[in-house]
Structure formats: structure tokens, C-alpha cells
């Protein structure tokens, strides 16, 4: 494990929390030092103290993320309840995949180390419960097609992106997994159709498809219901098309035989229907959870309850795009809390 940041009480607490786990940890004072360190060392986790993101000078997290590689160790931000939202937004934009809140606790670190070793991997799920794999043939990334891919990821789907239809065929072959749906853009009626080569056609035989007119702008609000109908999923409860960027520390607890064991993460977006939380160790899909949403700007803690609509625990992505974490649908929220949520969404949408 690599810890990035000046020696502080947080790192002393980390050393105490790691002692029972017999995990080796090294510390460097800055992101620049971390960049040099990972040239000859391969840490299992990289923990970055939030103060490394404050001044905005020097090497940023993005450069370190690129050095670690797409399939490299996860990048975790160590934050405090009062960490400014602006810092969390920088971390979210530059590749942070999880957040640990101080004081650091042994069970939080144990859960993440177990997940990395595979001991905490979720059990096999029924086919209908598995996250859907969608091929967007002709979309270069999450923000293409009016942000359709980003919305689908926020719904919990796994996405294969390809800038061209032919490239989509290559992605299907290299990934080796049969997608649940193919979405492609074609020209107007009468224009030549781009056909997949024979080998991908075998993989795609019987797979539902949706063809969008390449001459017309993509309107995600109208396309999403069609996609979910083809996937046989009801995914409107999170109201992802109404989500706004919303970064704040979040603690969540899943009830168990010995009571709730609280874990931490960081929200990346908020909608009137739910919250999107980045964490390597989400609760299981369908689980009821309690939420403590820390609002640094207001100095308040919003308590809520919800059910996990989808979850992606840590596992190698293998070229598929999806966030680690979970989407939580709010439950049992009274009018005052709902009004507060609407106000928060409106404030973030119109700063």
C-alpha cells in the first residue's frame, strides 16, 4: 500500500489501523514522489490525502492515474468530514475510485484488502441480476451521443464503447462476452448499412439491437426508456437524467446479524430519486442501507434510507467501462427531506 501525503495524525492512525492486518505500507510526501515511486513498485492500493489536491499546482492525480494504468491499483482519497466539496470534485474528475473518512478504521481497510485479494468478491448472481453489457457502436466514450453512455453507466450498466461500427465488432471479439444489447447509429433510410464481420455476427446472433439515425441528434431522455424496455429492466427510479454533480463524503451501513457495519465512500452525483456513491466495497444490489450524507458546504449531515439499485464491487474491468460503487434509491423520505434534496439539486444545477 502506498500513502501519499505529509506525515500527519491521519497517517499515524492509518499505521495503527493496519497493524492487525499485517499489511506493509510506504509513505511519500507528494504526488510527484508517488509518480517516481510507482515506477519501480506496484502497490495494491494508493491512498492520497485530500490536502494534496488543495493548491492545484504541481502534478495532479490524473498524471498518477495514467502512470498506474487503466488496470492498475485503485486510487483512494483520504478525506475528513469537513473536506471542501471543491476538493472532492477535483478528485472525482481526476480518477478517485473510493474515499476513506478519518479517523481510519481497521474494518474499512480490511474490507478493501479482502476485495483486492478476491476474498470479498460477491457471490455468483442469477443471470437476470447481473449488470447488463451494452455495446455502443459508434460512440467514442461516455460523453458522446449527448452523454448517453454516462447515463447508462449511472444506471449500473457496463458499456463497451467504439468510435466506429467496425471497431465495435473488434471490441466484441476481443472482450469475448456476448452483449445484452447493441446500440448503433446509421444513416438515413436508403443509406448503405454498416454490417458486422462474420465472427462478431456469430457472437451477436439473437442479441437485441437499437438503431439510431446518424443524421439526428441523440436525445437520451427519449432513448433511455427504449433501451431499458429492450433490456427488460425498470431503471427509472434513480431518475439518472435529472442527476447533477454532487461530491460529498458518504457513510453507509447495511443491517446484519450484528447490526450495521458502516463503510465510507464519496458521492459523485445526486438526483431526486437517489445517490451515486463511489466505493470499492458497495453493499449488494437489493440491500437496504442507511446513509449519512455529509454536506461540507452547509456543515450538516443528511440522514436517509435507501435500497441499492445496482452495485459494482472492485474487479478488473477488462476493457468495459463502468464505475466502482453503487446507485442507491431513496426510500421513505418525508416532504421536508425531499424538499431539501430538490433544493440541493437545483443549487448544483444552477451554481
**pLDDT for 301:** 87
Q: Which residues contact 257 (CB under 8 A, 6 or more apart)?
A: none
Map out the domains of the chain with their CATH numbers: 2-117 (3.40.50.2300), 133-231 (3.40.50), 240-349 (2.40.10.220)
Q: What is the pLDDT of residues 188-219, one digit of tens each?
A: 444 444 555 555 566 677 888 899 988 889 99
Banded model confidence at residue 272, pLDDT cuts 50, 70, 90: confident
Q: Decide: 34 and 28 in contact? Cβ < 8 Å.
A: yes
* Angle (CA) 118 142 174, round 5°: 55
Banded model confidence at residue 245, pLDDT cuts 50, 70, 90: confident
Q: Which residues contact 255 (CB under 8 A, 6 or more apart)?
A: 288, 290
**pLDDT for 146:** 92
Average pLDDT over residues 126-133: 64
pLDDT at 279 over 90: yes
**pLDDT for 58:** 56
Of 215, 217, 148, nearest in space to 183 by CA: 148
Average pLDDT over residues 17-21: 78
Q: Which of 47-61, 84-98, 267-281, 329-343 has the weakest average pLDDT?
A: 329-343
Banded model confidence at residue 317, pLDDT cuts 50, 70, 90: confident
Banded model confidence at residue 335, pLDDT cuts 50, 70, 90: low
CA separation for the pair 315, 287 (Å, rounded): 20
The pairing of strands 2-4 and 75-79 is unpaired
Q: How is 213-262 classified by DSSP, letter by letter?
A: ETTS---HHHHHHHHHHHHT----TT-GGG-EE---EEEEEE--TT--EE
Q: Which of 133-137, 227-231, 337-341 has the weakest average pLDDT?
A: 337-341
**pLDDT for 121:** 47
DSSP-based three-state secondary structure for 70? coil
Q: Which of 98-102, 159-163, 336-340 has the weakest average pLDDT?
A: 336-340
Q: What is the pLDDT of residues 132-143, one digit of tens each?
A: 899 998 898 999
**pLDDT for 127:** 44
Banded model confidence at residue 119, pLDDT cuts 50, 70, 90: very low
Q: What is the pLDDT of residues 157-169, one digit of tens each?
A: 999 998 877 777 7
pLDDT at 116 over 50: yes
Q: Decide: 94 and 60 in contact? Cβ < 8 Å.
A: yes
Q: Which residues contact 148 (CB under 8 A, 6 or more apart)?
A: 136, 139, 183, 218, 220, 223, 224
220 class by beta-carbon count within 10 Å (0-12 exposed, 13-18 middle, 19+ buried): middle
Q: Round the average pLDDT of the chain to a whole number and report it.
A: 82
**pLDDT for 78:** 93
Of 227, 171, 178, 158, nearest in space to 197 by CA: 171
CA separation for the pair 47, 74 (Å, rounded): 9
**pLDDT for 129:** 55
pTM: 0.84
**pLDDT for 193:** 47
pLDDT at 222 over 80: yes
**pLDDT for 257:** 59
**pLDDT for 252:** 95
pLDDT at 11 over 90: no
Between 57 and 276, the higher pLDDT residue: 276
Amino acid at each position: 500500500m502506498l500513502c501519499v501525503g505529509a506525515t500527519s495524525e491521519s497517517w499515524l492512525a492509518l499505521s495503527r489501523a493496519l497493524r492487525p492486518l499485517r499489511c506493509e505500507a510506504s509513505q511519500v510526501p507528494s504526488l510527484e514522489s508517488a509518480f517516481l515511486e510507482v515506477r519501480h513498485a506496484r502497490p495494491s492500493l494508493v491512498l492520497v490525502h485530500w490536502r494534496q489536491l488543495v493548491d492545484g499546482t504541481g502534478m495532479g492525480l490524473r498524471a498518477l492515474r495514467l502512470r498506474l494504468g487503466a488496470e492498475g491499483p485503485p486510487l483512494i482519497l483520504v478525506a475528513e468530514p469537513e473536506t471542501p466539496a471543491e476538493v472532492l470534485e477535483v478528485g472525482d474528475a481526476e480518477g478517485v475510485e473510493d474515499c476513506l473518512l478519518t479517523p481510519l478504521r481497521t474494518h474499512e481497510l480490511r474490507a478493501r484488502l479482502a476485495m483486492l485479494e478476491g476474498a470479498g468478491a460477491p457471490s455468483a448472481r442469477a443471470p437476470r441480476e447481473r449488470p447488463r453489457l451494452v455495446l455502443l457502436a459508434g460512440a467514442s466514450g461516455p460523453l458522446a451521443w449527448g452523454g448517453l453512455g454516462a447515463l447508462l453507466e449511472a444506471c449500473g450498466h457496463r458499456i463497451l464503447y467504439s468510435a466506429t461500427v467496425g471497431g465495435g465488432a473488434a471490441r466484441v471479439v476481443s472482450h469475448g462476452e456476448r452483449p445484452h444489447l447493441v446500440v448503433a447509429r446509421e444513416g438515413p433510410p436508403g443509406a448503405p448499412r454498416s454490417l458486422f464481420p462474420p465472427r462478431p455476427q456469430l457472437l451477436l446472433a439473437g442479441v437485441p439491437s437499437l438503431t439510431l439515425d446518424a443524421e439526428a441528434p441523440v436525445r437520451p431522455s427519449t432513448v433511455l426508456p427504449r433501451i431499458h424496455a429492450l433490456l427488460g429492466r425498470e431503471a427509472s427510479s434513480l431518475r439518472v437524467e435529472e442527476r447533477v454533480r454532487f461530491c460529498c463524503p458518504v457513510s453507509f451501513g447495511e443491517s446484519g446479524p450484528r447490526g450495521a457495519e458502516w463503510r465510507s465512500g464519496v458521492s459523485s452525483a445526486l438526483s431526486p430519486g437517489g445517490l451515486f456513491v463511489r466505493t470499492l466495497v458497495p453493499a449488494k444490489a437489493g440491500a437496504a442501507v442507511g446513509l449519512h450524507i455529509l454536506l461540507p458546504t452547509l456543515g450538516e449531515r443528511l440522514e436517509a434510507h435507501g435500497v441499492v439499485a445496482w452495485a459494482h464491487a472492485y474487479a478488473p474491468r477488462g476493457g468495459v467501462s463502468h464505475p466502482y460503487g453503487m446507485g442507491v434509491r431513496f426510500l421513505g423520505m418525508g416532504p421536508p427531506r425531499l424538499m431539501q434534496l430538490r433544493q440541493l439539486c437545483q443549487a448544483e444545477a444552477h451554481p
